[in-house]
Structure 1
Amino acid sequence: MNAKELIKKVQSRHEWSQNQVAKELGITSAALSNLAQEKTDGSDETYIKLAKLAGVDPTEILIEKHMRKAGPEGQKIWAHLAKALPKSAALLVVVALITPNIQTHAETSKSSKLSNVYYVKL
């Protein structure tokens, strides 16, 4: 389901105008219009909010979104993930793929600070 279909589903489900949908998503009406016309690609968070408002599984929506954006080889992998993983596991994979590894950065920062201790003269 693409963004335009999701937006229409949200509007019909809640009987909202496009302005109301945009307000619920925390974006402007212009941004929502661009998303519906596929002029821009919304964030994963926007798609998750749309899916929830539409009463659709966010996991499937994110997999479809990334499958559309991927090349032929990437589409095969996303399709395999969609079939092979239970929905909850697929969502974890998607989140793991799109979330930066903050822990690695924290460990790097910590270790660089610790290494500075060796250069302190007593």
Structure 2
Amino acid sequence: MKTAQRILSVSILVIALLGFAQSQQQPTEEELIVGTWHIEENPSDYLFVVNNDYTATKEYGGDFETDYYSWQITESQTPSGLTVSHLILTNIANTDEQYDYEIDTLNNERLVLIYQRPGGGIGKLTTYLRQ
């Protein structure tokens, strides 16, 4: 009888722990990227604001000239089979203007984007800090 109670108690504990572990899942990239980011080198000169409605703004300079974008995160495969995430920004005023950034780092504090040139090749790496 005591053995059956122990087995039942352990089973209930394992089920409870598994349920808790599943509820503590890591946030998705779409959840992590939402927020206000400033460029690491010049925090007062540039803000990148990503909204949860899939819009974003880039605000430049002291007077904060603003550009408006829609955004999405996509994935691609490298020749070696590695999955790489990309942030795609599309200018709302001119949908032909699109920017592709490889997401190098994305966490609660830091966002590192690598610009992907339209004709191929890698552009500038930019580091942002969450404001």
Question: TM-score, normalization: structure 2?
Answer: 0.21
Question: TM-score, normalization: structure 1?
Answer: 0.22
Higher helix proportion, which one?
Answer: 1
